[in-house]
Structure 1
């Protein structure tokens, strides 16, 4: 004989949520007793947080924006006799070419405070022509593009590409061109205090961009340093 089948438990009815009771108000015509003073509910003040946020926006953002300017301007430039494996050429022809470059930089950048130019070579035949100027620059990114536009005809430059510098406020661009029948890479690096341009032979575009970034660290020095 099989055991009896258990009777299923009845499902409890669903409880309906009652409507939210209306707010309690005083009956019509009710007057508070004599001497009764209503106590207002004190709200949490938020103005200190608003004040701190306002101060951070008003002071922090301008300081963040101005930091590269103060770190990069003013600056001075000096060409050493040797930059790593590069040696500055001191012969009369090279010095005359460097003076011509300085004159061209001065004519193209009327607000430049100082100009520099030099021709370096290595023992294995590589050649680096370095020139530029110091002075305040408000928009270094557009100045870098304008500098390569200025040199486009002289070096038959192809479209330029940006190069990462790793320095906030410094912008660099490079382009491949030709000079005296040889392939060259022309790179320019501009920050808020200086402009440095290099013409490189027998180097790739990436290597030229990195080398210019290294050279300008040794040639252009902020006066705060």
Structure 2
């Protein structure tokens, strides 16, 4: 007010009521403290713990039960256990079709805090064995699950190696007579049949 200002006669000052902002601040604080951790932890709760069982038939593939295939699968399981020694369990199997397509599937179950980094590490681990080229990221449409695929060679034949990792499991497939996209889709189908989330 200017100096010497006099309010008119009968003027009564009415205090201006300020709007309380604390309820909105409180709600925002609760949302940040509770909502964000819950959103982050939801994939972990949905994907861990998990278990794996190899079906005899899946997606037109048949699990090979001959002695040579079973011996090779056991060696793969032992290798997975050595490479992922904190895993809860390991699995491996060799599938074929009547047309001669072959899929070697192996992996492990167990808690994983960094599935994206683990997917990249698994491809890197197999690069020398299968002479893999650059890996490509594959969309999984599942939050917390990451997939990578790369083209390589094994025993003189072209192969595609794909791995899919989430917070509860790692599944890797070596595919013959399939391109990269078909291999990625088939691995997704296989892991849906093999890996089961045990979370409530």
TM-score by length of 1: 0.83
Q: Is the 8 A contact 2:116 2:146 kept in 1?
A: yes
- Higher RCO, 1 or 2 (CA under 8 Å, sep at least 6)? 2
Structure 1 runs, 4 residues or longer, greater than 4 Å off: 24-28
The answer to whether residue 170 in structure 2 is matched with residue 199 in structure 1 is no
The answer to whether residue 154 in structure 2 is matched with residue 179 in structure 1 is yes
Q: What displacement does 1:50 show? A: 1.0
Query: Paired residue for 1:76?
Result: 51
Q: Secondary structure at the match of 1:158?
A: coil
Deviates more, 1:40-49 or 1:107-116: 40-49
The answer to whether residue 89 in structure 2 is matched with residue 114 in structure 1 is yes
Query: Paired residue for 1:218?
Result: 193
CA deviations over 1:9-66 (Å, ceiling 9, x no partner): xxxxxxxxxxxxxx356659xxxxxxxx976422111111111111111111111000
Show the 5 A alignment for 1:15-94. 23=1, 40-94=15-69
Q: Secondary structure at the match of 1:110?
A: coil
* Greater radius of gyration (CA): 1
Query: Paired residue for 2:138?
Result: 163
Structure 1 gap ranges (5+):
1-22, 29-36
How many residue pairs were aligned? 196
CA–CA distance in structure 2, aligned partners of residues 186 and 120 of structure 1: 15
Q: Secondary structure at the match of 1:129?
A: strand
TM-score by length of 2: 0.94
CA–CA distance in structure 1, aligned partners of residues 51 and 152 of structure 2: 29
Q: Secondary structure at the match of 1:221?
A: strand
Q: Is the 8 A contact 2:104 2:173 kept in 1?
A: yes
Q: Is the 8 A contact 2:137 2:148 kept in 1?
A: yes
Q: What displacement does 1:224 show? A: 2.7
Q: Is the 8 A contact 2:59 2:190 kept in 1?
A: no
Q: What displacement does 1:84 show? A: 2.2
CA–CA distance in structure 2, aligned partners of residues 137 and 120 of structure 1: 27
Indicate the structure with greater helix content.
2
Q: CA RMSD in A?
A: 1.7
Q: What displacement does 1:155 show? A: 0.5
Query: Paired residue for 2:9?
Result: none
